[in-house]
Amino acid sequence: MYTVTVLAPPARADLTEDRVEALRDLFAGGHIIWLDDSIAAEFPAETLPADAAAIAEDTRLAGFDLVIQPTEGRRKAVLLADMDSTMIEQECIDELADMAGVGPRVADITARAMNGELNFHEALIERVALLAGLNELVIQQVLDERITIAPGGRVLIATMRAQGAYCALVSGGFTAFTAPIAAELGFNEHRANTLLADDGVLTGHVGLPILGFEAKIEALNDITAQHGLTPADAIVVGDGANDLGMIRLAGTGVALHAKPVVAAQAGVRIDHGDLTALLYLQGYGRDEFVID
């Protein structure tokens, strides 16, 4: 048995009964359940039509997300989330680089690395080297003035924590950012790289070993094992090429507003919705959301 979930961006909230019913008919699906009026609905399907992928693509091009997944086990006990451009709306290293006067150069390297065009390890070392001499106090300035939480992020973590899920922030960025972001959002733990400083000034070096593609996979295996679970019990969300390993390994791997190389290979693709999409995918209705 499959569950088909149809989502509109919460900012638009324009999912209609006619659209959902038309999709249900294409799948010869069952009773429609509305998870959130005008935003999220789901229905069961015993089998999938041969053109299911094409239907999902047509729905995406129309401005909505359509996700097909096995019904059994879709509510997960563990969440692993990337930080930059996932739980927050910025790339922290790009913001630091802008403050250091090397913004465009670093942003170009970041974009290429996240799209899988560059080796993440080498790209990170190259970018961090360009930050040498920057006052460490700039980190707090960036946090205060430039970093914003991605829509739906607070509700996602609060709701999953309330249901007993373990939530980890796993980033190829830096602990100077993951620590306060994890604390603000209520993550159980965070893992990231360490920017090295000497006497309050960034040295242009990062602590080794670097947390990247392989380390994110290790984090997924390690965290689920610690709780007597497997990666199949986890939902993972990210946007960059260094997230692909953990996205592919997880029971539910979500590419959220992701780079093309990631969106093409992820099991679940969310192009229009926000982070609350991860709740709807697990069958959570609006009445179950924990909202501050």
What is the C-alpha separation between 49 and 135, in angstroms, rounded? Answer: 58
Q: Where are the domains of the chain?
A: 1-72, 76-90+148-292
Range with the poorest average pLDDT among 73-82, 139-148, 206-215:
206-215
- Active-site residue among 36, 82, 233, 274? 82
Residue 133: per-residue pLDDT: 94
End-to-end CA distance of the chain: 35
Q: Which candidate in 84, 233, 243, 274 is catalytic? A: 84
Mean pLDDT of the chain: 96
Tell me the percentage of the chain whose pLDDT exceeds 70: 100
Predicted confidence band of residue 121 (pLDDT cuts 50, 70, 90): confident
Tell me what pLDDT residue 110 has: 86
Per-residue pLDDT at 115: 81
Q: How far apart are CA 119 and CA 116, in angstroms?
A: 7
Confidence class of residue 118 from pLDDT cuts 50, 70 and 90? confident
Where would I find the beta strands (DSSP E) of the chain?
2-7, 33-36, 40-45, 65-70, 78-81, 166-174, 189-193, 195-198, 201-206, 234-238, 252-256, 268-270
State yes or no: is 84 an active-site residue: yes
Is domain 1-72 classified as CATH 3.30.70.260? yes
Tell me, yes or no, if 25 is annotated catalytic.
no
Question: Which residues lie across from 133 on neighbouring strands?
Answer: none
Give residue 103's pLDDT: 86
Per-residue pLDDT reduced to its tens digit, 179-233:
999 999 999 999 999 999 999 999 999 999 999 999 999 999 999 999 999 999 9
Q: What is the CATH number of domain 76-90+148-292?
A: 3.40.50.1000
Specify the pLDDT at position 116: 81
For residue 251, the model assigns a pLDDT of 98
